[in-house]
Each structure stands twice: as C-alpha cells, then as structure tokens.
Structure 1
C-alpha cells in the first residue's frame, strides 16, 4: 500500500499538464460526472479525470468496465448512451427515463477516453457540449439531476442481480453519502457549488 501511494505521488499533477482553469460552462459540463467520480484521486475540476496523470488507469478502466479498447468502441458506446442508454430500461420498468444516470456515465467515459488518448481534447469538449441541451432542458437544479442519477443507478444495480457483476457496484449508502456531500451548500470543494446549475444558462466566463 505504501509503495502504491509513493508511485501515485511521483506522478505529475494533472494541473501541471493542464494549467488553464476551466470556464464556468466547462466546469458545469465536467461536473455532470461528479456523482460517478467519488474515488480518492478523482478530479472534479478538470477535463482530465484524475488529480495526477495516470493515462494507464483510464485505459484499463475503459477496457475492464466497458470493453472499450479502441476509438471506435468508445465512440459507439458514447453514441449508445446519448441515444437510449440505461434510461430505456427504466422507462419500461418505471415509466421514467432518468437521463442523469446516462449523462454522468457519458461524461465520465468521455473524460477517461480523453485521458488515455482515444479522443483529443477538442473532441472531448465537442462530445460534452452535445449533451448539454438535453440535460439542461430536462432538469432545473443539481438536486433534480442527483435524484434521477440515483434512480438510474438503482435500475442498473437491480439489473445486475444474479450476474457475476452483482458485487461490483459501490454500496448504495456510499453513493447516497457522496451525493449529499456534492449537494451540501457548506461544501466549498463541491463542483456543484462552484458551478451552480443556472450557470449553464448564462454567458460563459472565466472562473
């Protein structure tokens, strides 16, 4: 464990490679994946998904969790999440289509795809911008977004029952606690407080 942490600290900080702060709109788009990014070392204020450069981890994660091993598979997966995603099953079961769950996964995969070189920075931003109209037009607050994210996550978890992946997801209590932290007005580190929901409806500006 100590050796692993030492290796992590030897990696350069992502902020050194990408020193220009995100604009308000950029941070808002990146923040759509905040519910997914609760691991230690995850970055919630840069397009790069980690606080320290770790391209290999992004590549392994995409391959292990999504079977994404090429640019073509990445693009195909993003297209699927944008078109129907998991919300199609939720619509059949519950009569509600939680776009937030698919949007969070979409942004998370995009960021990791950028990190490991499957897509360029420009392509990553283009991908994120493409889902803004649907998300901004569906929800009116981070609270609404969080509620639908949890709903989508529940449908996804229920779908894993009886499969070999049933034990993979983090416990629901962990996801709930993470979202409470993101929504806590006193949490100054929360990207949802740094980029309020209404910011996406206003002209973009430097932070």
Structure 2
C-alpha cells in the first residue's frame, strides 16, 4: 500500500468529542447466541440516550443485512466480519460517539484485533455469560433448534467453539441478572471509569 498516504484532517477526534460533551468509546458485547447481547445493548442505548449521550448500536444480524451481507459463517468469514466491525466502530468512535457492538465474536484473537484498534480504556469488552443450556432454552430465533437438526453449520456452541474472554472489563451473568440490572451495572462501570457523567 505504498501509494496510499494518510490524509490529516483539521477537525480532530478530540474536537468532535468535546462538541458531543462525552468521551467516545466502544462497548463490545460478546457471548453465545441467546445470551442477551442485543437485548442488553438495546436497553443500554436507551438508557444512555435518556442521559443525553450520543450513541450508535451495531448489531450482528443488522450488519449482515448490509455491510457484511457477502460473508458466510466459516472461520475466515467470521474473522472478516469482526475485522470490518472493528474498523467501522473505530470510525464511529472517531466521530465522537459511544458505540455499542453486539456480536457473538467467538474467537479471542478476533476480539483482540478489534481491541488493538483503540487506545487504552476506549475498548470495553462485556462478556455476556450464560450457560449453553440457558441460551439454547431461550433460542429467540430458533437457531439452536435448526443447528441441532443439522440445518445450520458452524453454529457457535454446537459445532463451532466459543472462546470466552479471559479478562473482560465486565462480565454479566444473564442467567441470574435482569436486563435492568445488567444495564445498571454497565452504567455504573462507565461512570466509575469516567466515560460518562
């Protein structure tokens, strides 16, 4: 890529953050299908919106309708899916937003690639911790049932592994905690780490 040179811009990330009166960051929800990623990310965005924070939510299924509609679910495609989301999230954070990203993102190495795009403190990994049997029991989209029948291949938790985070910023046990409790825990984390007031 020797013919491509980074173009410096006059309006900086800091200037955009100051205009938005917030500290931008990426809140990365990871966990099995049915663990509550989208539900709690949605609840959190509503709570942040009520507090006057400027946010954007990137949801795994929604992104696969557009930006990543050309990708399947092989390990290579999953890696590219997360790479693109990391890069898109970095742009939104650069724009001064608090970004919420809800993706299974099953592999630690892929999540680390996304984390490495951000300065210390701007990547907040939240592990949605719920046992497989609980997630499978919820099965909000009927995907586990289809995976068990062999209709869906490479389904995380069934015939493809999920690598839980080793040191996430926050772990939420969605088997035991309600959506409201999980949202409150994240708000408390963001306040205590000076991301929001």
State the TM-score, normalized to the length of structure 2: 0.28
Higher helix share: 1
Higher strand share: 2
